[in-house]
Every structure is written in structure tokens, then in C-alpha cells.
């Protein structure tokens, strides 16, 4: 048996503890960053360049009045706190898939192929969410999205 220097052992324990704590916080709270700096969403191995809807005015307008989206584009609605946020298709000109995402970054609800003709109907989960992603219709089926899938944001 060799001599153990308590100062080195204590330093090792402290560094290891801090590393594990940092790893836990990064993986448990991956969205603690600045939401207004999100550039893209990684979902089902696909990168979606997102336009952010952060203010009330931006969220109310959404994709209304536009002619379409490309497969690698979307709109990410960022809410100030988790809540129940139903969506409708008011003034929409094309169908979309709508994906509700928890604060922890998991898909909690999908509305596939939401069509403009569905207005004034509303869609949404019973669970609270912090983010909603709108993408081109058919994206969810093409990439086999399902409730529970993880979503990552790129800043």
C-alpha cells in the first residue's frame, strides 16, 4: 500500500464531483440558454433552420399569410414559461405538422398535416410545453417522429 496524500485525493473528489454536476445540469436542463439565440432544431437526425416567434405579436402571426416552407425550415414558438398552448390554422395557406415540445426537450404531442380548412378548430396537448415547432406537412411521417423523441437546439 502506498501513501495517499489527502490534498490530492480531496482535489480529485472535488473535480470529479464538479464534472458530474456539470454533466447532469447540461443534460437535464439543456434549454437553459438564451432562447432568442436558437438557430436550428435537431430532430430525428435532421437539422431544421428555424425562424423564432418569441414576442406575442410574432407568435400571433406565426406562418399566417405565407406561401410555404422548405423541408429544412420551420418556425419555433418560444413561450416565456411552460403552459398549455393550443394552435389553430387562421390565415394559413398550406398544411403543416405541428410539434409540441416540453421544457426538457421531449416531444409531447404531434399534429400531423394540420390543414388551413381546419380553422377555427384548435390543436394541442393536455400537457404543458415551452416550445412549439411548425414544419412542412409530412415531415413527421417521413422521419418517423413520435411522442417522447428528443429535440436539441443549436445556438
Question: What pLDDT digit, counting tens, does each position of 71-110 carry?
Answer: 999 999 999 999 999 999 999 999 999 999 999 999 999 9
Cell of 153: 437546439
Is residue 23 over pLDDT 90?
no
Instruction: Report the C-alpha gap between 70 and 45 in whole angstroms.
Output: 17
Q: Is pLDDT above 60 for 36?
A: yes
Region 114-124 average pLDDT:
97
Rounded Cα–Cα distance for residues 110 and 107 (Å) = 8
Region 7-20: mean pLDDT is 43
Query: Which pairs from 116-121 meet CB under 8 Å and 24+ separation?
Result: 116/89, 116/92, 117/89, 118/88, 118/89, 119/88, 119/89, 119/90, 119/92, 120/88, 120/90, 121/88, 121/89
pLDDT for position 37: 86
* Confidence band for 8, pLDDT divided at 50, 70 and 90: low
Amino acid at each position: 500500500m502506498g501513501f495517499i496524500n489527502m490534498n490530492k485525493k480531496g482535489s480529485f473528489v472535488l473535480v470529479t464531483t464538479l464534472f458530474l454536476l456539470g454533466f447532469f445540469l447540461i443534460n437535464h436542463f439543456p434549454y437553459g440558454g438564451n432562447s432568442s439565440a436558437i438557430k436550428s432544431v435537431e430532430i430525428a437526425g435532421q437539422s431544421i433552420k428555424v425562424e423564432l416567434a418569441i414576442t406575442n405579436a410574432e407568435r400571433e402571426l406565426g406562418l399566417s399569410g405565407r406561401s410555404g416552407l422548405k423541408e429544412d425550415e420551420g418556425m419555433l414558438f418560444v413561450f416565456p414559461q411552460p403552459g398549455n398552448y393550443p394552435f389553430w390554422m387562421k390565415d394559413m395557406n398550406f398544411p403543416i405538422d405541428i410539434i409540441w415540445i416540453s421544457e426538457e426537450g421531449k416531444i409531447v404531442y404531434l399534429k400531423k398535416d394540420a390543414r388551413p380548412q381546419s380553422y377555427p378548430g384548435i390543436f394541442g396537448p393536455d400537457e404543458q410545453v415551452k416550445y412549439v415547432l411548425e414544419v412542412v406537412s409530412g415531415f413527421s411521417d417521413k422521419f418517423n417522429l413520435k411522442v417522447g423523441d428528443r429535440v436539441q437546439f443549436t445556438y
